[in-house]
Amino acid sequence: MTTTSYQSKMQQKVAEFHTKYALTQCGYAKFMAEDWLDRLRLIDEERAELGAAACRDSIEEIIDSICDLLYVVLAVPVALNIDIQPFFDEVHRSNMTKDGDMDSGKLTKGPGFVPPNLLPLLKKEGLL
């Protein structure tokens, strides 16, 4: 059972799923190579399903695939016992300073870009 309290409702729901089915919630220090491989395989599978749904131009399948992809991505910090919300907020703050040009659908980092400062959060969460 997890001891982490999550700010994100989505992460809370994924943690509830992990608890109900006794899935890995061991923390970063105990996360093994095979755990990483399993998680990355699930992310790859769901990303591929999203691509297939987009090719079929099925909005129902696209939304289902997006939710499944979010689910498996949020399962990683749940398994690591990390509340991802403060980290997401800091990356968002940083992203809002990009102000660059669009390059192949991606906003580039402009001269005013300020990278995320995750170190204090990592220390606060006891991850360093």
Number of structural domains the chain divides into: 2
Q: Of 66, 83, 100, which residue sits at a domain end?
A: 83
How many C-beta neighbours within 10 Å does residue 78 have?
Answer: 26
Q: What is the dihedral of CA 64, 67, 68, 70, to 10 degrees?
A: 160
Residues 6+ apart with CB under 8 A from 46: 65, 68, 69, 71, 72
Is residue 77 domain-shared with residue 26, that is, in the same domain? yes
Residue 60 has pLDDT above 90, yes or no: yes
pLDDT in the model for residue 1: 42
Closest to 127 in 3D by CA, of 41, 31, 40: 31
Is residue 68 domain-shared with residue 93, that is, in the same domain? no
CA-CA-CA-CA torsion sign (111, 112, 116, 119): positive
- As a whole number, the mean pLDDT across the chain is 93
Residue 2 has pLDDT above 60, yes or no: no
* 14, 78 contact by CB (below 8 A): yes
